[in-house]
Amino acid sequence: MQGLILALALSLGLTLALEAGFFLLLGQFRNAGGLFFFAQRPHGEAGSLHRGKGSTHRGKGPTYYAKDLLLVVLVNVITNPVVVLLYWLAAAYTEWNAIIILIPLELFAVLFEGCYYKKYGKGFKRPYLFSAAANMFSFWMGMLIQSII
C-alpha cells in the first residue's frame, strides 16, 4: 500500500512539473511569435487578432496565462491519480500487456484534459492537440527518468 501511495505522489509531482513546464515553455515560444498551433492570445491582448469593443481581457495583462497554468495543474491533479491507480490495478490483477492498459488510459487523460482546456482555457487554440502533446511529453520524459533511475 505504501508503494502505491509513493508511486501516486511521485507520478503526480513529476507530471505537474513536466506539464506545467511544457505549458510555460510553449508560452515563451508563443510570446516570441512561434507555436501558434497550440496557443493563441486571447481577445484584446497585444498582438491578438481580436481587439474590438467588449473584449474582456483588455488591460488585464497576463491574468489569463496564470489561469490557464492553474487549469493545467488542476486537470492533471484530477486525471493523473486516476490513470496511475487504474494502471496499477490492471497490471496487478490482470495479465494484460502494459500497452493494452496504457493506451486507453492515456487516451482518456488526453480527451478529458482537452475537454477542460477547450471549455475553460482562454489561450488554447487547439486544446486537444495541446493535451496530447503535453501528455506525450510528460509520458516520454517519465520513461526516460525511469530508465536512468
- Whole-model pTM: value is 0.78
Residue 12 vs residue 59, higher pLDDT? 12
Cα 136 to Cα 140: distance, rounded to the nearest angstrom:
6
Query: In this structure, which amino acid lies at residue 10?
Result: L
For the chain, the domains span 2-49+59-148
Q: What is the pLDDT of residues 115-144, one digit of tens each?
A: 999 999 988 889 999 999 999 999 999 999
What's the grid cell of residue 131? 493535451
